[in-house]
Amino acid sequence: MEHTGQDFDEYVRAAWPRLVRSAWLLTGDWYRAEDLVQTVLARAYGRWQRIRDNAPDAYLRSMMATTHLSWWRRRWRGEVPHDAVPEPSSQRPSDDLDLRATLAAALQQLPRQQRAVLMLRYHADLTETATAHVMGISVGTVKSYTARALHGLRRDQAIQALATGELEVTDEQR
């Protein structure tokens, strides 16, 4: 068992940043993303013998998607009070952080299942069939969610401004 633990520790050290990035695409929050990855890794530890030889990143990303969706079903989603109402930004994103924030805000406007489909299809690079299997939905539903999510992103005004070149994007940001 020590050998398994050592293999698992080495994998976690190497994979942590990419797993947290995948989780962030689902949650939109770094702290919840870290919690999601920790939860999934805790569940995966007992199955590590089977997982490690069969594309562990893909397996763990699938676990993240299903775990995130189950968390969403259980959590309260009412109003959250804020000190001040945020003003809409009229500034152009001028650096990589602003660009990422614009994209993150657009992703957070999408329904949770559409975000999960986009993460699995484009970030985890799963096929439509594999995405459907992970999420427990049909391939047609995956296609529908993908189309709706991309349509929603295209309608986002900040994304439109990026696409039409109204916002300056440097070569480093591409």
pLDDT along the chain (174 residues), means of 10: 70 93 88 92 89 86 88 60 66 60 86 91 90 92 94 83 60 45
For residue 76, CA distances in Å to 55, 79, 88 come to 34, 9, 26
Q: Does domain 2-74 sit in CATH 2.70.98?
A: no
Every domain of the chain and the residues it spans: 2-74, 96-173
Structural element, H or E, at residue 136: none
Predicted TM-score (pTM) of this structure:
0.53
d(CA 145, CA 67): 19
CATH class given for the domain over 96-173: mainly alpha
**Domains 2-74 and 96-173 belong to one CATH topology:** no
